[in-house]
Structure 1
Amino acid sequence: MGASYTPAWERVTSVSVIAFTTEGKLVVAELDRGLDLPGGHTQQHERCGEETARREAWEETRVLMDELTPIEVIESDYFGADDLTYMIIYSGLCRHIAPWTPGDDESRGRRLMAPEVFLSRYTAGDPELMTYLVTTAKARIAPSTD
C-alpha cells in the first residue's frame, strides 16, 4: 500500500518496527519462529501504530525508540475481501538499549546484527518482503554502515 497510506486505526491489527542502532546494526528478536523484527498485535488501549511499535520494541528487545518513520503498510484479506486489515511497518533509531531481561512475551532474547546478516538468516516469513522492508528502512533511516 505504501508508507504514505493511512488505514483507519480500527482496521490495523499488527505493527512491527525495524530498529537500528546508531552504528547501523539491526535489533532483532529471538522468537520461536526464528529471528524476526519486534512486532505484534495492537491492543485496545493503543491509539496509533507508534504506540504499538514502541511497546513491542520494548517487550521483545528491550529498546526504546527515537522518532519512528512509516516504511510500509501491508494490506491483508485474511478475513475475506470485504474485511481488509492492515499491518504497519515502522523504522527508527534506538534511543536506549536496556540490559536484556526476559519478560512475559514470546521473545527469548535479542541480537544486534548487520542487516545483511539478518536477511541471510531470516526464515520467519517471506524473505523477499523482508529484504524490501529492511533495504527500504536502511535507505531512509540508518546511518551509513559502509
Structure 2
Amino acid sequence: METGEPVPNRYRIGSNITKTAYISRHSAFEYYGCSNQVFYEVYVSGNNRFAAFNYDNVTYLYIAPRINDGIELKSDGVRVTDMERTVLDSINNFEKIAGLEELLRCLELIPFANEDKLLAYLELYGKQALY
C-alpha cells in the first residue's frame, strides 16, 4: 500500500479476469518458478473470452483452451494449470508463446511430472503430433 503498487500479483489478477479464468502456458511456468525469463505478458485461458488489456505494465492475453482438465486452485487464490497440462499446452503453442529455446529451458527446470496425467491429457488433446 505504501508504494502504490497493486496488492494482488499478476497471477491472481489474471485468474480473476472472468469466473473461469486461469493462468496457462509460459505464465504457469513462471508461477511455478520453472521459467528462465520473466515475461510482461500473462497468458490466461478459460471459457470466457476477453479483450487483451494492459495493467501495471503487464499485458493480459486470452488463449483459448484446447482441453478443460488440469486446472488447480492454489492456496493463494490463483487458478493455474497443473504442471502436466502446462507442459502440453506450452509444447503445443511454443512458437506463439515463448519460443523453442525458452520452452526447453522451462522443461529442464521441472522437478517432477506425473506420466499418467500426461497420457490422460494427451488423450484429451487428441493431437498426434504431441505424442
TM-score, normalised by the number of residues in structure 1: 0.33
Greater RCO structure (CA 8 Å; 6+ sep) = 1
More helix as a share of residues: 2
More strand as a share of residues: 1
TM-score, normalised by the number of residues in structure 2: 0.35
